[in-house]
Amino acid sequence: MIAFCLAVLIRTFLLQAFYIPSGSMEDTLIAGDRVLVNKLVYDFREPSRGEVVVFQGPPSWAPEAAIDQDQGMFSRIGRAFGDLVGVTQPGEKDFIKRVIGLPGDVVSCCDEGRVVVNGVPLEEPYVVRDSPLTEIEGGRDCRSREFAEVVVPPGELFVMGDHRQRSQDSRCQGFVPIENVIGRAFLIVWPNDRWAGLSATDAFADVPAPAAIAPAAPEPGASGEVGLVLPLLLPLAVRRAGRAAAGRPGGPFLPARRWPVAPRSPARTRRTHTEPAMRPPHRRLSA
């Protein structure tokens, strides 16, 4: 019982095994592979280009794996147990693809047959079976290599399968919300002779940051002015804010300024000639 509960916790929050039902990621992944998915990594950072991710397809995406909806109770229980170790097929809307474009990226094809991201043509060694340049009639598969230039919206990803002739991906099905990403596939765990890591590729090493979200270049001379003015304005702003909050000259951060006052006799409040009153110095105004 303890082992079962531990397995459920690990599957829910940390790691999960997924069964590969199709050849859309060949030759990186082939049908029948089991991959281990890190479900925690994207809680600390966003996905990167070139990573292989598992995600839930948006409603507009056609399923790649058909699921029998008329399952009995025992079949459903068996499927739930098998899902813990990745021996059952994934849900009909669970996909595994490679991240090609991030929010703000400009993606298109083709430059001499290559996918272009932010103006840089990609050399993709993981693509063994590419699509033909011309569109093939029939079917809903994204079987044409060429597609129009698109800008990836905020919070979305542009993904593609490594087997471009068989993969249904962002070329024809649209973008994927980052919030739909389940995790990053990082290890092939079955069969034994296929054991291998899914390391990041360097195909995107020369791709620049998207211009749409790149930090704007400062105007000439602006950096120097900001560097000089900010240290002067910040203490002044803090002091003014403190004064406004406390309603007195010193504010909450500085003690109120008091002028020295001569001591008075407890019994008499009248000033004597030996105890002159201390008056604040007067500022002489110019005529």
243/205: higher pLDDT: 205
Tokens 């596939």 belong to which residue?
185
**Percent above pLDDT 70 for the chain:** 56
Q: Is the pLDDT of residue 135 over 90?
A: no
Highest mean pLDDT pick, 58-72, 97-111, 122-136, 271-285: 97-111
Residues in the chain: 287
Q: Is the pLDDT of residue 133 over 70?
A: yes
Calpha distance 99→52 (Å, rounded): 6
| Of 197, 194, 124, residue with least CA distance to 161 | 124
Is-above-0.85 flag for pTM? no
Q: What is the DSSP string of 91-141?
A: PTTEEEEEEEE-TT-EEEEEETTEEEETTEE---TT--SPPPSSPPPSSSS
- For 104, phi and psi rounded to 5 degrees? 95, -15
Calpha distance 138→7 (Å, rounded): 44
Residues 6 or more apart from 258 whose CB is under 8 A from it? none
Q: Is 93 a catalytic residue?
A: no
273/59: higher pLDDT: 59
Q: Kindly state the average pLDDT of the residues 204-230.
A: 56
52/138: higher pLDDT: 52
Calpha distance 122→188 (Å, rounded): 25
pLDDT of residue 269: 46
Q: Is the pLDDT of residue 206 over 80?
A: yes
Catalytic residue among 24, 131, 167, 170: 24
- What letter does residue 273 receive in the DSSP assignment? T
Q: Kindly state the average pLDDT of the residues 198-217.
A: 78
Q: Is 170 a catalytic residue?
A: no
Domain boundaries, the chain: 2-102+153-197
3-state secondary structure of 206: coil
Domain 2-102+153-197 grouped into CATH 1.10.510.10: no
pLDDT of residue 227: 37
Catalytic residue among 97, 131, 167, 170: 97
Paired sense of beta strands 114-117 and 106-111, if any: antiparallel
Highest mean pLDDT pick, 131-140, 165-174, 270-279: 165-174
